[in-house]
Structure 1
Amino acid sequence: MSNNRIVTSPSERVQALSDSFKDVLNLGQKYVELLDRLAQTKDAKNLLSATNKLAKMDLANAFIDFPPHYKAADYYLIFMDRLLKMHGDTAVNVVENELNHEFEATVAAIGNEAVFKFEVDSRGEAAFTEQDQHEPLFHLSLEDKLMQFNNRALVNYFIIYALKQHTDLELRDAVKPLIDFAKYLQKDLDFTIDLGILATANDRRFMLDKPELPLTVIDRLFVATADKDYMLMNLPQNNGAELLLDQGTKLDIAFDPDDYSQEWFFLVKDSDEQISFFDVLLHYDLVRDWYLSNRSSLAVRTDHMEIADEQSQVTTVVVEDEPLDEGGSSETASEKPAPADER
């Protein structure tokens, strides 16, 4: 019997109220059980299941006001906190804001000034978002088991904004628990993850948003390295250039000569596969200044994953990066079946 239908007689009204109480009591019992699982379980799969159910639970009732409760965004953040803590990772601190009773996170390496929350859209996809600059650093779908970093937001927040207040090493430490969270999702829960420009594999190509690159942009890098200790050389097949950085790290800006499309990409190579394109931008002033000054041409492509149909088939939508303007800029990623290119 629907508690939302119109009732007229006193007996019907009383019965409707009684049914509403029964519904609320049953729902409340399920809610409490899920809260206990969220707070206490030590099993990652159980944690994911409880979080998913809590995030989708509708506590509205026509007759009864449910006691104060948390929102979907809060459950996402508690899920993240619990999964990190299961692995002994305490670099992210999650607390409840006493004023609005919402959960928020800070990262130890950059202090309490930077506050992060999840923001959940109508599809249930959550964005881990820095609240001052409002940059969504990664996107997470618990139901579809997808996690993808947002390249535009990573550059906007860490490379352009936060680097003015923190050292490069502090920012690398700030990003580490976010990367670890992604890896725990993949290892423990079989999530598909895309680290975007945080990926360190030597064969990871970071495709440019614009397939064609004016050669004058590379010429500017040659000029910038003229009086530096770094050497820039043309690649053997005249398909780009390679910048030799320190400690054996190399940065290529190139296209595949055997690929008809000849789309340009960045490629970072180091002996231990520990250096990402994000690290290069963070640590090397020369590369960072060149990249940001020419960002309209060099911006790494961002693909945002979408769910295509009921069978949870995944498709990719390309989101163009925006040119840099006065201290602002662009770049986006998401997590998903990571293509060879960059999201």
Structure 2
Amino acid sequence: MSNNRIVTSPSERVQALSDSFKDVLSLGQRYVDLLDQLAQTKDAKNLLSATNKLAKLDLANVFIDFPPHYKAADYYLIFMDRLLKMHGDTAVNVAENELNHEFEATVAAIGSEAVFKFEVDSRGEAAFTEQSQHEPLFYLSLEDKLMQFNNRALVNYFIVYALKQHTDLELRDAVKPLIDFAKYLQKDLDFTIDLGILATANDRRFMLNKPELPLTVIDRLFVATADEDYMLMNLPRNNGAELLLDQGTKLDIAFDPDDYSQEWAFLVKDSDEQISFFDVLLHYDLVREWYLANRSALAVRTDHMEIVDEESQATAEMAEAESPEEASSTESSEDSTSNEEE
């Protein structure tokens, strides 16, 4: 006999309601326990576990409606707030909006007018998004333990928009807790992170979205430096140019002459490895104006990070072994769709 038969008799209806109450009480207790864990734990791993479970928890029930409760986006923001505060970082303020009962974040350095929320898609990937300009500054997947900044959004929001209302130092301080959050994820929870144009390592290459660069774009930078104190020089192997900024900082726009692809990229070099390409755009008017005027050619791409499971990887390796040319063509197609223009 099927277990899915329609419940019709009074006793069966009562029993169904009783069973539903039992399920709800059990689910409610689990929900409360997870909320307590989210709010009270001092362990980053327990914090991550509670957030993941709450974001996936389905409170729907045929007979009983749960009281108003938070959404996945709220749990993500609470997670961010708690992880920052575990490290004594109070630069980001998270509070509940009394009108819609959703959590919102503001950053002390740029005031309360800039409001940020997480926007979560069906895959569970959350975008930390500024609400007036709708720019997703970074993407976060708690389940896959990935965090990646969006280069295009960083430029659109901070360099193009916010710099009209704030100083470069205020914006530098606004970005700092976001970078710190990424580093806490990496250190405490073994996340894979990509700081994008916020990275400061001297060997970090910020690849252009378009592999080829018209040399006239570099010529325009030569012209722009004519009346400035900065010097632009050709690189020794004729593979680009180097702009000498102050305090020993250098900005290269170049390709690797030993790489057959000869794709163009920016490199920022300083003795302490504390300056990112974002910092250069933020602090140096000359570079910023040249970059934005030629953005269609100079845009830095964002390579979307993805987790490849072992089964998919094994299948790909088998396909490559059987048909190298076909596999190469497929990879090229996937690369073209996974790159996002800055």
Same fold (TM over 0.5): yes
Q: How far did residue 6 of structure 1 move?
A: 3.5
Richer in helix (by share): 2
Structure 1 contact 3–20 (Cα < 8 Å) conserved: no
Distance in 1 separating the partners of 2:220 and 2:270: 24
Larger Rg: 2
Q: Would the alpha carbon gap of residues 185 and 311 (structure 1) be closer, same or farther in structure 2, given more than 3 Å must change? A: farther
Distance in 2 separating the partners of 1:33 and 1:319: 41
Structure 2 contact 217–294 (Cα < 8 Å) conserved: yes
Distance in 2 separating the partners of 1:83 and 1:4: 45
Structure 2 contact 249–269 (Cα < 8 Å) conserved: yes
Q: How far did residue 311 of structure 1 move?
A: 6.1
Structure 2 contact 304–340 (Cα < 8 Å) conserved: no
Q: How far did residue 15 of structure 1 move?
A: 1.1
Give SS of 1:209's match.
coil
Structure 1 contact 147–192 (Cα < 8 Å) conserved: yes
Q: How far did residue 9 of structure 1 move?
A: 1.5
Give SS of 1:265's match.
strand
Distance in 2 separating the partners of 1:57 and 1:148: 25
Report matched runs for 1:1-343 at 5 Å.
Answer: 6-309=6-309, 317-321=337-341, 331=342
Structure 2 contact 55–75 (Cα < 8 Å) conserved: yes
User: Amino acid of the residue matched to residue 339 of structure 2?
Assistant: V
Structure 1 contact 301–318 (Cα < 8 Å) conserved: no
Q: Would the alpha carbon gap of residues 136 and 157 (structure 1) be closer, same or farther in structure 2, given more than 3 Å must change? A: same
Q: How far did residue 307 of structure 1 move?
A: 4.2
Give SS of 1:305's match.
coil
Distance in 1 separating the partners of 2:259 and 2:3: 62
Once the two structures are superposed, residues 93-145 of structure 1 have per-residue CA deviations (whole angstroms, 9 ceiling, x without a partner) of 00000000000000000000000000000000000000000000000000110
TM-score (norm 2): 0.91
Q: How far did residue 7 of structure 1 move?
A: 1.7
Once the two structures are superposed, residues 283-310 of structure 1 have per-residue CA deviations (whole angstroms, 9 ceiling, x without a partner) of 0000000000001000001122334458
Give SS of 1:186's match.
helix
* Identity over aligned pairs, percent: 92
Distance in 1 separating the partners of 2:12 and 2:217: 76
Q: Would the alpha carbon gap of residues 231 and 82 (structure 1) be closer, same or farther in structure 2, given more than 3 Å must change? A: same
The higher relative CO (CA closer than 8 Å, separation ≥ 6) is in 1
Moved more, 110-119 or 297-306: 297-306
Gaps in structure 1 of 5+ consecutive residues: 322-330, 332-343
Q: Would the alpha carbon gap of residues 122 and 311 (structure 1) be closer, same or farther in structure 2, given more than 3 Å must change? A: farther
Once the two structures are superposed, residues 143-201 of structure 1 have per-residue CA deviations (whole angstroms, 9 ceiling, x without a partner) of 11000000000000000000000000000000000000000000000000000000000
Distance in 2 separating the partners of 1:71 and 1:164: 34
Distance in 1 separating the partners of 2:267 and 2:77: 33
Distance in 2 separating the partners of 1:51 and 1:4: 34
Distance in 2 separating the partners of 1:301 and 1:4: 52
Distance in 1 separating the partners of 2:109 and 2:22: 48
Distance in 2 separating the partners of 1:182 and 1:129: 15
Q: Would the alpha carbon gap of residues 4 and 112 (structure 1) be closer, same or farther in structure 2, given more than 3 Å must change? A: farther
Q: Which runs of 4+ in 1 moved over 3 A?
A: 2-6, 306-313
TM-score (norm 1): 0.91
Once the two structures are superposed, residues 194-251 of structure 1 have per-residue CA deviations (whole angstroms, 9 ceiling, x without a partner) of 0000000000000000000000000000000011000000000000000000000000
Once the two structures are superposed, residues 245-271 of structure 1 have per-residue CA deviations (whole angstroms, 9 ceiling, x without a partner) of 000000000000000000000000000
Gaps in structure 2 of 5+ consecutive residues: 314-333
User: Amino acid of the residue matched to residue 285 of structure 2?
Assistant: D
Structure 2 contact 208–263 (Cα < 8 Å) conserved: yes
User: Amino acid of the residue matched to residue 235 of structure 1?
Assistant: L
Moved more, 263-272 or 13-22: 13-22
Distance in 2 separating the partners of 1:225 and 1:265: 20
Distance in 2 separating the partners of 1:84 and 1:255: 38
Q: Would the alpha carbon gap of residues 141 and 310 (structure 1) be closer, same or farther in structure 2, given more than 3 Å must change? A: farther
User: Amino acid of the residue matched to residue 318 of structure 1?
Assistant: S
